[in-house]
Amino acid sequence: METVQQRPKKKIPIKRILLITIAAILILAIGVGIWAYLQVKKPLPQTSGERTVPGLNAEVAVYRDNQGVPHIEAETDQDLYFAQGYVTAQDRLFQMDLSRRQASGQLAEVIGSSMLDQDKFFRTFGLRRAAEASIDAYDAETYSYLQAYADGVNAFMNQAIDAGELPLEFRLAGYEPTPWEPLDSLTIGKFMAYDLGGNWQGQAFRYWASQQLSEEEALELMPVYPEEGPVILELAQSIEVDIEEAFAQTSEYLPHPFSGSNNWVLSGDRTASGQPMLADDPHLGLATPSIWYETHLSSPSVNVTGVIFAGVPGIILGSNESIAWGVANVGPDVQQLYFEQRHPEDPHQFLYDDEWVEAEVITEEILVSGEEPVMHEIVITENGPLLSDYAELAEDEEYALSMRWTAHEATTELKAVMGFNRATNWESFEEALRHFQAPAQNFVFASTDGTIAYRANGHIPIRPEGDDALLPVPGWDSSYAWQGYIPWDELPTIINPDSGIISTANNQITDDDYPYHLTHSWAQPYRHQRIVDVLYANDDHTVEDMQALQMDAVNLQATEFVPLLTNALTNSELNDLETNALTMLKNWNQIDGRDESGPLLFHLWMDGLTSQLFDEHIPEELYDLFEGRANIVDEMLRDAAEGSTGAWIEKAGGLEALTTSSFKEAVARATELQGDDPNEWVWGEFHQVLFNHPLAAISPLNYLFNATPLPADGSRITVKAASYNSETGIVTNGAGWRGVMDLANLNETYHLVGPGQSGHVTSDSYHSQREAWVDGDYHITSIDPATYRENSDQLNLVPN
């Protein structure tokens, strides 16, 4: 019998197996990559064609130009603001949702318990309650615009949810947004008042200083030396509230200490065009997306362009066919801390004019993602909410701190905004200003009839004699209550000055003859002085000149302090590296240019000098409460150089010892950062702008949402404001929007919105203005249909 021999199996070469495996992995990776790319691209808004939108009354045309700026044309104002809500949500819905949640104290609901303390703080502060108080103050017409805007947001939101096209951030965070309400827009407005209107933290810090420091040291940390210094400290020293425990966590939630702005306006006698010219650049936090959203709105009653906070209807800064306007923060004392005496047996009763008065108690449920809800109690006295109790201090403490704030009252800023948008001259604009109450702002104005004007506008309290806004005052004594607000017609106002120039940069705006208190804490004078120097230098300024001034990085603080500080080093022993560094600094042109060496050493020196003065004596958690620190240090140095050494510099060993040790430390740090050749140090390698996205804190999402940092000119005290983190060098605060308007042609205005218009990471306008922001490359926005319709995407929103 024959045996059938089986053919041996052919072995597949290992190399071939590897190739097949690699190919399969590549195909899988490509497939996953394509899927991921499509998921990221999916939420990009429709910008052309036609889209049916329930809720519209008539068709609305939306043209998006090459920067992603929407030009919205509507037949009625109701449809205009509906479409504005819809279009803004297309680009910024996630930002809008985070903004209302932050201001309302609702972040823990979607992020988790890490946000619980912040939620408690903002609920106690009461931004949403303040917005609720404002609703009834609005007339029916203005409220209808709020409602139309909310309806537009919800129309887009519903479509995005139904189509699975919500922005990527919602899917990463694992939640869907709830319907938008008019109250949400007003709450965002109150948050901006919070960001630009704080002085309670300075009072809290000075109270801590009165308790923990010597009398001389505490008084030296006042923004002004009070006439009766020891007297005002007596009461503060006699009352005990644990400031460190009460406000230890608040530094993350406080307004940025360098939030401010530049603005100026020139008459036609000062410009090349012969018509007024206006420039504005508000300084707030820099992030992705920008706090500002540029829009052009057109209907039979309005044709206005400029910027607005995402989540709010109208245009708050910009121009129409007849006028232009801008703002800078006044920074007045519009808040007051009060000592409250608690009843020994009832924690909800407080002494007021010799009687125990029951406080209002609100208990709010805070939802926390993945955990049980938390009940939070808010106690509101005759003076305001117990701010010190947000951290839930023991109710058996005899004293607490409450706060009164102008923005807690009903205010009607949106009505003012609508008035600005429709104003045609100073008279109609000034009338609209009556409705803008919080935050108090320095408004500059120009119109095509040649008028230029200025007004410090808003509710600013009249304080009783004995209340200088430096420290908390007795809440149980009604004589310390505010005595109304500065009368509207007595607020600082300038119309058509002979100089043809009006400018502000958070600088002191009144002299000693002004009868009312505004604030003690003006900005350092350097930005304003530089602006004034440039504006007065000639009388034929152009748009390009105004743009260059907004980008100006001349450091006048260095002009003052480099000679002062280097003179103090005259007898100091320096090694070769330190000597070379000092020579470099003396030869520096005192411009904070990104390619310069001098700014790195100068700012490290100034920062280090301040740290050596205070770090060992002021708790880190209270450092951000230290209002006016920069001005106070400047004054200490000036006084010491003139032979009047104060307590703090004396404690540091005197001016020479302080400047020497801080200089050596600055040189050592610069060497560690960038090597041992001072002439090779570069400011821009340290001082860089990132435009951080809120989800970039979660690695590796930073690689998705953030771009590479860019070297940036400027600093905290230059006209091109670019305040930075002293440890990392990353720029965190500056002009998210810059605008220049020549009244000779308001059809075309000049803008920068850093880093771009869109909140969608794959959009062409997500970071399209990032480099432009650094370089000062402005774009033109037109309100002429023949111009903006050309080469723009057109989306028609049609009713169903």
Identify residue 116 by its one-letter amino acid code.
Answer: L
> How many other C-beta atoms are found inside a 10 Å radius of the C-beta of residue 412?
20
Dump pLDDT digits (tens) for 63-106: 999 999 999 999 999 999 999 999 999 999 999 999 999 999 99
Dump pLDDT digits (tens) for 125-151: 999 999 999 999 999 999 999 999 999
Q: Which helix (H) or strand (E) holds 346?
A: none
With a cut of 90, say whether residue 393 has pLDDT above it. no
What pLDDT is recorded for position 1? Answer: 44
Cα(267)–Cα(100) distance, integer angstroms: 40
Task: Determine the average pLDDT of the residues in 254-281.
Answer: 93
Cα(582)–Cα(587) distance, integer angstroms: 9
CA 126 from centre of chain? 19
With a cut of 60, say whether residue 388 has pLDDT above it. yes
Dump pLDDT digits (tens) for 609-629: 999 999 999 999 899 999 999
Do 561 and 606 meet the contact criterion of CB atoms below 8 Å apart? yes
Task: Determine the average pLDDT of the residues in 499-503.
Answer: 98
What pLDDT is recorded for position 249? Answer: 82
Tell me which residue of 395, 396, 366 sits closest to 379, measured CA to CA.
395
24 confidence band (pLDDT: 50, 70, 90): low
Q: Return the percentage of the chain with pLDDT > 90, whole number.
A: 86
With a cut of 50, say whether residue 44 has pLDDT above it. yes
Phi/psi of residue 40, each to 5°? -70, -35
256 confidence band (pLDDT: 50, 70, 90): confident
What pLDDT is recorded for position 11? Answer: 64
> How many other C-beta atoms are found inside a 10 Å radius of the C-beta of residue 49?
9
What pLDDT is recorded for position 22? Answer: 75
Phi/psi of residue 448, each to 5°? -70, -15
Task: List the structure tokens of 798.
Answer: 């049609």
- Locate all alpha helices (DSSP H) within 373-524, ordered by sequence: 413-422, 426-433
> How many other C-beta atoms are found inside a 10 Å radius of the C-beta of residue 464?
14
Cα(147)–Cα(570) distance, integer angstroms: 67
- Locate all alpha helices (DSSP H) within 105-178, ordered by sequence: 108-111, 116-125, 127-135, 140-163, 168-173
Cα(417)–Cα(430) distance, integer angstroms: 12
What pLDDT is recorded for position 236? Answer: 85
With a cut of 90, say whether residue 157 has pLDDT above it. yes
Dump pLDDT digits (tens) for 691-744: 999 999 999 999 999 999 999 999 999 999 999 999 999 999 999 999 999 999
Task: List the structure tokens of 664.
Answer: 């050596």
Three-state secondary-structure class, residue 266: strand
Can you say whether residue 500 is alpha, beta or left, with left for phi > 0 and alpha for psi between -120 and 50 degrees?
A: left
With a cut of 60, say whether residue 8 has pLDDT above it. no
Dump pLDDT digits (tens) for 547-569: 999 999 999 999 999 999 999 99
With a cut of 70, say whether residue 6 has pLDDT above it. no
Over 575-605, what HEC string results? CHHHHHHHHHHHHCCCECCCCCCHHHHHHHH
Task: List the structure tokens of 249.
Answer: 């966590």
CA end-to-end span of the chain = 87
How far, in Å, are 40, 291, 428, 526, 710 from residue 720 at the CA level? 35, 18, 32, 11, 15
Do 442 and 332 meet the contact criterion of CB atoms below 8 Å apart? no
As a CATH number, domain 556-689 is 1.10.1400.10
With a cut of 50, say whether residue 331 has pLDDT above it. yes
Q: Return the percentage of the chain with pLDDT > 70, whole number.
A: 95
What pLDDT is recorded for position 230? Answer: 66
Do 404 and 384 meet the contact criterion of CB atoms below 8 Å apart? yes
What pLDDT is recorded for position 387? Answer: 94
Task: Determine the average pLDDT of the residues in 276-282.
Answer: 98
Least confident of 24-28, 328-332, 640-644, 762-766: 24-28
Tell me which residue of 179, 384, 275 sits closest to 747, measured CA to CA.
275
Name residue, tokens 């989540």.
311
Task: Determine the average pLDDT of the residues in 39-44.
Answer: 75
pTM for the whole structure = 0.94
Least confident of 38-42, 94-98, 612-616, 645-649: 38-42
Task: List the structure tokens of 797.
Answer: 């929103």
Tell me which residue of 787, 715, 688 sits closest to 747, measured CA to CA.
787
What pLDDT is recorded for position 73? Answer: 98
Task: List the structure tokens of 32.
Answer: 């996953």
29 confidence band (pLDDT: 50, 70, 90): low
Q: Return the domain boundaries, the chain.
A: 15-44, 556-689
Cα(198)–Cα(171) distance, integer angstroms: 35
With a cut of 90, say whether residue 5 has pLDDT above it. no
Q: Which helix (H) or strand (E) holds 35?
A: helix 14-41
**Quick one: CA dihedral 685, 689, 693, 697, positive or negative?**
positive
Do 338 and 384 meet the contact criterion of CB atoms below 8 Å apart? yes
Three-state secondary-structure class, residue 471: coil
Mean pLDDT of the chain: 94
- Bridge partners (DSSP) listed for residue 262: 281
With a cut of 80, say whether residue 38 has pLDDT above it. no
Three-state secondary-structure class, residue 743: coil
